[in-house]
Each structure stands twice: as structure tokens, then as C-alpha cells.
């Protein structure tokens, strides 16, 4: 079996695989500053945890020039599928995330680091907020690479599916908070 340049395989045909895309868009009836504030609010984090079972703990918030840096730890209460749990050495997905927000450009870059398999799992991307008629569009665009022979693709697909569900719930929560800012 040939190894691709990044050490990854497509178990179905023994060919190297490319990354799996994480991509979601949602529109909100507010300005860019409001949506950035909503997504970083305590109210949002609490409701997201209640609906998705993902607890977010802010580890650090600092300013580096014009860039707002936020480091957090995320822990899911949902049990992972057995193949993922075995590969990751845990029944629950736990990861650290670093966000770097440049409000002037409307761009946030993010990177996810797992406490294990750091050299085999790469998840990173950008979140942008652009003005559209009637509000803003928030776009999350990222890639996931899992370099684990035979099961990497399964892990990637599971993460993409869960990401999509979580993003939809997050967008619903944010819309409600935009429309009811005092709750």
C-alpha cells in the first residue's frame, strides 16, 4: 500500500486521501460586531452546552496588538463511537482550540489541538463575517486531516457530521440571542 505525501490512505482503494472540508454558512439580522459578541458571550456558551453537551472552558483571553486571542478547552459529554474512542484513548472528545480574531478584517482563524495524536490530527480554518443585505453572513471554512491508517476517514466523517449538527444548533442559539439580547 502506498503512503500519500501526508501519510494518509484511502482504505477503499489504497490511494492517498485529501482532507475533508468543514464548511457552513448562516445569516444573522445584525451587524458584525454584534455577532462576534454573541458567539463569545457566556449566555451563548451556556446554551450551547445545554443543547450539544459540549462544555467550553475559557483558558485565556489576551490582546496581541489588534488581534483578540482566545484559548479554550472543549469537552463533549457525548460518548464517541468505539473506533474513535480507541484511537483517541478516551470515551469523550476533548480538545483545545485557539481563536485569533481580527475584527477590522472580519476574520477569525482557529486551530484545534487534541491532547493525543497531535502529529496525526490536524483541524484548522477560518470564520469570516461579511455584511449582506439585512445583516451579516458568518462562514466557517476549515479542513480536517486524520492520519490514522484504515480509520482516519471514518473519524473525519464523524467529526464533519457532528460539526454540522453543532453548527446548526449554534446558529439557532445565536439568532435567538440576537433577537432577544436581554435574555
Chunked mean pLDDT (size 10), the chain, 183 residues: 39 55 93 94 90 88 96 84 74 86 95 80 92 96 84 76 80 91 57
* Residue 114 counted as domain residue: yes
Going by C-beta distance under 8 Å and a sequence separation of 6 or more, which residues neighbour residue 50? none
Would you say the pTM of this structure is higher than 0.95?
A: no
* Residue 144 counted as domain residue: yes
Number of domains in the chain: 1
Measure the CA–CA gap between 86 and 67, rounded to whole angstroms: 37
H/E element holding 49? helix 42-52
CATH number for the domain harbouring residue 155:
3.30.530.20
Q: Which domain range does residue 130 map to?
A: 20-178
Amino acid at each position: 500500500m502506498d503512503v500519500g505525501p501526508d501519510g494518509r490512505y484511502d482504505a477503499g482503494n489504497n490511494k492517498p486521501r485529501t482532507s475533508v472540508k468543514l464548511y457552513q454558512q448562516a445569516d444573522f439580522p445584525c451587524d458584525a460586531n454584534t455577532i462576534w459578541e454573541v458567539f463569545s458571550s457566556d449566555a451563548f456558551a451556556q446554551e450551547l452546552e445545554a443543547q450539544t453537551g459540549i462544555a467550553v472552558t475559557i483558558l485565556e483571553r489576551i490582546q496581541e496588538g489588534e488581534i483578540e486571542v482566545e484559548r479554550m478547552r472543549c469537552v463533549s459529554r457525548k460518548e464517541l463511537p468505539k473506533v474513535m474512542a480507541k484511537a483517541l484513548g478516551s470515551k469523550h472528545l476533548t480538545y483545545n482550540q485557539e481563536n485569533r480574531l481580527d475584527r477590522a478584517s472580519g476574520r477569525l482563524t482557529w486551530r484545534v489541538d487534541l491532547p493525543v495524536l497531535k502529529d496525526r490530527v490536524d483541524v484548522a480554518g477560518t470564520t469570516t463575517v461579511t455584511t449582506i443585505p439585512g445583516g451579516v453572513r458568518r462562514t466557517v471554512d476549515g479542513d480536517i486531516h486524520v492520519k490514522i491508517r484504515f480509520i482516519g476517514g471514518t473519524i473525519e466523517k464523524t467529526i464533519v457530521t457532528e460539526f454540522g449538527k453543532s453548527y446548526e444548533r449554534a446558529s439557532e442559539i445565536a439568532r435567538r440571542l440576537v433577537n432577544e439580547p436581554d435574555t
